[in-house]
Structure 1
């Protein structure tokens, strides 16, 4: 029985890649030093997997920013404006690559970054490929071949990973009208053939093609594309073993299509959809092996060995031991690196830790399951099985997990708990009179730059090196300085800056019951941005106010409105590692009740604008449209439970980013927030297409500049974006704001960009003034 891994975390156990990239971007380290860090991480990952006993070890799963962007560079899908970056002669391919990801603003060039969006239903972001009619492709970057050769030189024969050609095209966007991107397959396939030819000449045996779109709804043309691609690859490269990897959902009605492909192995995600195993086994061709994705690559709970061994045995009984491959459900990119680094009992107790497995431990689980299924009598394996079952039993019966009061309150949520007192039309009148805001009101999404000094103070406080008084004095100083600066540039609705917060989810999880944390449980969100998701292990409740103190303090400093800042229940759920022993909807409602209490406390101390961020609500949509309605029903209910316990005069905002809203715009309106802010700048206001066919009733802030890029936007380009927005949204509905929080930017960029943004809003107000007639 072969063991198979689809991908391994690329950030390094101590976030070495993040630190190296940021040092390079700031000019503090050389490109050669950055490349060396990347090589060290790759070699560490390959050796770790080889030593553990993985047979099919992935290469090309490493990336300096994003694997989809890597594929775009590999096949030469480089929009023409970025070619200017390397025309001057002193920039390299890596500078071009980072310019596409982050934008480029030097050498008299000012180029915006490519659009970024969510990778299916995860919190990972990818750089969206751009496609043009009759676009030509070329074998531009040799990264995939170079890394395969690098591993081979180290004595490790890897399985190169490519995004399959059909999924790669479907991940992108047409930037011209009159064609569908799947039509570009005839131009794209020759580049894949070139890649495979080079890999074959270097001695490749297995190649993994990631085709997650096989788990989505496909048109007839897209289904035909899959048949054409893999038939042609089989015809041209009969000596290469081809594995097609699917994940994040079951194959369902695409089962017959997937099993008809002339490939050597099919990978399926049994963690997400265990029910698909029988459907696949019933029609799997005799020449095809089956990779069983039983170890959950997206969560941190230990695999239940007894349950998995039953599924493995079922597959073996049906197709034989030699055709069964043991694997994780998907790439381990979505898991933290190593549980062994969690040595602080005060952060992660031993009782909870025994229930967990990170990427390194999941590799061991894959190998252990394979050996157990083969009948190994090794005593160490027997002990591992016994320890695994003890952990399963401990988790099932632990008093830490279950809270009868929380369970009762969640069941008792009534319809009245998720409805505002009055419809928006009445609320709007009351809010307009009370808040007295100008046309095109300006605000930010919440956070301001977290400087090294603030992070240092937080670290000193956590270590006990400074006391609470000294720490809070530092926070007060930064908060007041930020309030004064917002007043100076004439922002209309201020925020306190969130200097007391480490992360928009972690901060709340630390104050809610039912959560536990890690010290080194980092996962990549995009580029060098890493997050440390909380672990929801039990029933969730709130013991005390979480944000009132700092919001109230900020409001005491100014006569202007200060916005309360909260993270919504769906986002806290989506961006945490969630317990898998009850429906996600139940956990989400528990969080919603806790946030509802916080909203009411903010209102009680006089905060009249409260933002409940839900950037992950679109991300949580199931991959199949047939499953959408059930999810949207409970997700929107949870938001309304959290947000509707206030008076009409209190204005509720929400924020969403990097999501396509066109197909769920009616559901977004049902959230009944008074104001929604969304990301629109990278897509050049394309997201507003949803509002051309749907008359959105509430107010909206289409983000007018991209905070994920270091470039500083000009007033004129923000005015241009607002003018586009005004074509589909009434001026009295429009707010002016960045597209996301400013935590990851530096103060120099932030001050310049927000000053330009305020000027843009004032220009828009002047354009609305009607000239007097004589």
Structure 2
């Protein structure tokens, strides 16, 4: 790697047509066997490598592909398998691997949580009781495959040991040094085998170095890399950070490695300031992450060239590697299939393939001069100018409404201590009321009906009739199961964000903009390109219809402003706070419409509130302040008898307690079961005086939890919560589950609530 060069940090796994997702789900359904799966996945891997090779990338990553999740891959390479899965040592079978990710009857899945502040979820390794050893070297297998089958001298990607340990669970903070000693030998063995195989460069990902860490932690990091350097003196290591600036720059760039990768998109100001102030080591390559790996907008290539040229004041050009800010896992594959999109918008987008082209173009401009790439640079500038001039970009009405709302603090008319009695008088719910989070199974029949409607095979009337049939069916099922508060089931909705974006101004929708969320679960985020405005009722018809079928309360279901923001590809010309405020004002109109239509329970879900939290402690308070304000802006105008619910997934309760309380929601539901009740002691430490539902079973697993299991979770929660404030619900929506398992699980959940309710009544 002589002279300025190009690199990729990781490629989307799912395939241009989601081939990866389809292969996994076919295997899980028993339609293909393990041999078929391996062959299909190899074909997808090699195709992805060839794309990067043909684009002209110098350093092509290998081992960025996975069966499910790269953190889970690291765990099973070390033989880290919880005892409940019955693994007896040696390489981990595919069945056990998937059982850890998805659960099986008799063994709950490993916990799943957000990968830093992204919408990707990783499987949390459980280290307790496991003696690690290198049972399989997947990085070596990936390197050999690329070299032997495509002639590619790949750059193996390995999750850094420090990040792996910090993201794991099952140990005390005081045990970390002992764990480093335990895990260093297999980690070093993995790298040694790469060195012996002739690997030149390895990418070791340490994104944890971008979070707020005590400086004392860097001694532990240094000890790891000093041990690695002694063991593999000839292996060139690119220590890769991303998602923000490194927390301790001087200590990081002093580590005994051959290159440091820095994020010059999300950590731009601080990383650039660090280099300007402290310089950059003369013996290292700088991985300059200048192309945004987390958003889909075309880069201003002129500005990117200026940035790289500013770096050359501190780092010679021949020691710069031009690359994305992070793995391209977080963006779709290619814009080539976006035939239906507004041409102006399409020209302003860059997915993974286009981002690779931008990287190669920048390198060529630096090698040969701007004149050599004058036309592509001009095309980039014209595309961005076209976007800025788009008629949907700015709405004077929306800007005026946002300015007016910014002048006061949104608040409910009465505090919760008074509202709760008014609401109980209105609803007369039993102790431990049962409900669901919102969605019911999106069966093949539901998906087929939606396809017929979208392809115009069905007209609006036919589709609406089908949706009402589903609402009829599931309203009866909910009443038969015995739920206390019902939902309409969301059969008309594809995705909880896309559905609302389709009905608001300022959003655009792609045909193939899929990204991985967790496992085979892919989402197609909306594109927020203009000012957001409420146009017409979005949820009123279906909710009012469901309410007409039952005497029990039916919740109106909305997605909150921060989740819509965080689960969309967001315009980059306005502060995110302002975009969130625009969304909140649009949602407030819908909330008021529901209330005027007689819907007195309205759930505004914010599962993504925490994932938007900046990685730096110093940046967190400002984000939480405007995020909470956006939620209240959407919900605070309702009357005191109207009950506002919200839901959050994978939320570190103790980190968020003040902000959760500040939302002033009458009821909040939180994930509990998959984290094995770890939230309960957090609640014990932090008194919570509003309504709360702790999920009593994991909806990401196909297993049906027994009544006793859910009773135990309820009992644990009631040790720290008032029964009068406690709700019983699943962890999350049931969209991805099957009908039979959903009915069975909810039946057991209602029975568990009944058992505890009757016990409380006689105490």
TM-score, normalised relative to structure 2: 0.97
Residue 7 of structure 1 is matched in structure 2 by 10
SS at match of 1:602: helix
Out of 346, 353, 359, the residue aligned to residue 346 of structure 2 is 353
Match of 1:289 among 282, 285, 289: 285
Q: Which residue of 2 aligns with 1:161?
A: 157
SS at match of 1:692: helix
Tell me the alpha carbon deviations over residues 147-169 of structure 1, each in whole angstroms, 9 at most, x when there is no partner. Answer: 11111112111111111000100
C-alpha distance in 2, partners of 1:288/1:310? 22
Aligned to 1:372: 365
Tell me the equivalent position of 2:513. 521
Question: In structure 2, what is the Cα distance between the partners aligned to 1:57 and 1:738?
Answer: 42
Counterpart Cα distance in 2 of 1:319 and 1:179: 39
The DSSP-based 3-state class of the residue aligned with 2:762 is coil
Instruction: Give the match for residue 208 of structure 2.
Output: 213
8 Å CA contact 1:685, 1:702 repeated in 2: no
State the Cα deviation string for residues 484-529 of structure 1 (Å, max 9, x = none): 0000111000000000000000000000000001011000000010
- The equivalent of 1:407 in structure 2 is 399
Partner of 2:306: 310
How far 1:99 moved relative to its partner?
0.6
- The answer for the alignment partner of 1:77 in structure 2 is 80
Task: Identify which of 618, 622, 634 aligns with 1:630.
Answer: 622
User: Could you tell me whether the CA contact under 8 Å between 1:599 and 1:642 is conserved in 2?
Assistant: yes
The equivalences for 1:322-361 within 5 A come to: 322-344=318-340, 348-361=341-354
CA contact (8 A) 1:174 1:181 kept: no
* CA–CA separation in structure 2 for the residues paired with 1:588 and 1:655: 18
Instruction: Flag structure 2 segments of 5+ consecutive residues without an equivalent.
Output: none
Match of 1:755 in 2: 747
Of residues 728, 734, 749, the one that matches 1:736 is: 728
What is the CA-CA distance between 1:615 and the residue it aligns to? Answer: 0.3
Alpha-carbon shift at residue 414 of structure 1 (Å): 5.1
- Residue 174 of structure 1 aligns with which residue? 170
Larger CA deviation: 672-681 vs 9-18: 9-18
CA distance in 2, matches of 1:56, 1:659: 37
> 1:490/1:208 Cα in 2 relative to 1: closer, same or farther (>3 Å)?
same
SS at match of 1:561: coil
Question: Is contact 2:115–2:122 with CA below 8 Å preserved after alignment?
Answer: yes
Q: What's the offset of the Cα at 1:201?
A: 2.0
Deviations 1:111-155 (A, max 9, x none): 00000111000000001111227x521112332211111111121
Q: Report the more deviating stretch, 443-452 or 139-148.
A: 139-148
CA positional deviation for 1:378: 7.1
Partner of 2:103: 103
| Further displaced range: 261-270 or 408-417 | 408-417
Tell me, in whole angstroms, the C-alpha distance in 1 between the residues paired with 2:406 and 2:155: 53
Which 4+ stretches in 1 moved above 4 angstroms?
376-379, 414-417
- 1:18: how far off? 0.9
Alpha-carbon distance in structure 1 between the residues aligned to 2:370 and 2:556? 60
Residues of 2 paired with 1:497 and 1:393: CA distance?
43
Conserved 8 A contact 2:409-2:629: no
2:119 to 104, 123, 129: 123
| Alpha-carbon distance in structure 2 between the residues aligned to 1:479 and 1:399 | 38
| Residue 417 of structure 1, CA deviation | 5.9
Residue in 2 that maps onto 1:34? 37
RMSD: 1.5
Question: How do residues 260-275 of structure 1 correspond to structure 2 at under 5 angstroms?
Answer: 260-275=254-269
Question: Of 274, 286, 295, which aligns to 1:299?
Answer: 295
Tell me the equivalent position of 1:425: 417
**Residue 769 of structure 1: aligned partner:** 761
- 8 A contact 1:402–1:538 mirrored in 2: yes
- Aligned residue for 1:405, secondary structure, equals helix
Alignment partner for residue 475 of structure 1, among 450, 460, 467? 467
Q: 1:29 to 1:297 in 2, by over 3 A?
A: same
Q: What pairs up with 1:593-604 in 2 under 5 angstroms?
A: 593-604=585-596
Distance, in Å, in 2 between the alignment partners of 1:388 and 1:414 is 35
Q: How far apart are 1:262 and its partner, in Å?
A: 1.2
Q: Distance in 1 between matches of 2:732 and 2:572?
A: 30
Shift of 1:60: 0.8
- Which sits farther off after the overlay, 451-460 or 682-691? 682-691
Residue in structure 2 matched with residue 727 of structure 1 by the alignment? 719
Structure 2 Cα separation of the partners of residues 634 and 195 of structure 1? 45
Partners of 2:275 and 2:314 within 8 A in 1: no
**What is the SS of the residue equivalent to 2:51?**
helix
| 3-state secondary structure, aligned to 2:381 | helix
For 1:759 and 1:179, locate their aligned partners in 2 and report how far apart those are by CA, in whole Å.
42
Using the TM superposition, give the Cα deviation of residue 278 of structure 1 relative to its aligned residue in structure 2, in angstroms: 3.9
Shift of 1:610: 0.5
In 2, Cα distance between equivalents of 1:354 and 1:170: 41
Verify the 8 A CA contact 1:618 1:661 in the aligned structure 2: no
Please say if 1:248 is aligned against 2:252.
no
CA offset at residue 258 of structure 1? 1.0
**The 10-residue stretch of structure 1 (1-10 or 276-285) with the greater mean CA deviation from structure 2:** 276-285
- Give me the whole-angstrom Cα distance separating, in 1, the residues matched to 2:663 and 2:445: 38
Shift of the 230–414 alpha-carbon distance from structure 1 to 2, 3 Å rule, reads closer
Q: Which residue pairs with 1:193 in the alignment?
A: 188
Q: For 1:218 and 1:321, how far apart are their aligned partners in 2?
A: 31
**TM-score with structure 1 setting the length:** 0.96
- Partner SS state of residue 8, structure 1: coil
| 1:318 CA drift (Å) | 2.6
1:603-654 CA distance string (max 9 Å, x none) = 1111111000000111111101111110011000000000111000000000
Deviation at 1:182, TM superposition (A): 4.7
Shift of the alpha carbon at 1:83?
Answer: 2.8
Distance between the aligned counterparts of 1:39 and 1:47, measured in 2? Answer: 12
Query: Unpaired segments of 5 or more residues in structure 1?
Result: none
Residue in 2 that maps onto 1:202: 197
Tell me which residue corresponds to 1:543: 535
- Who is 2:144 aligned against? 149
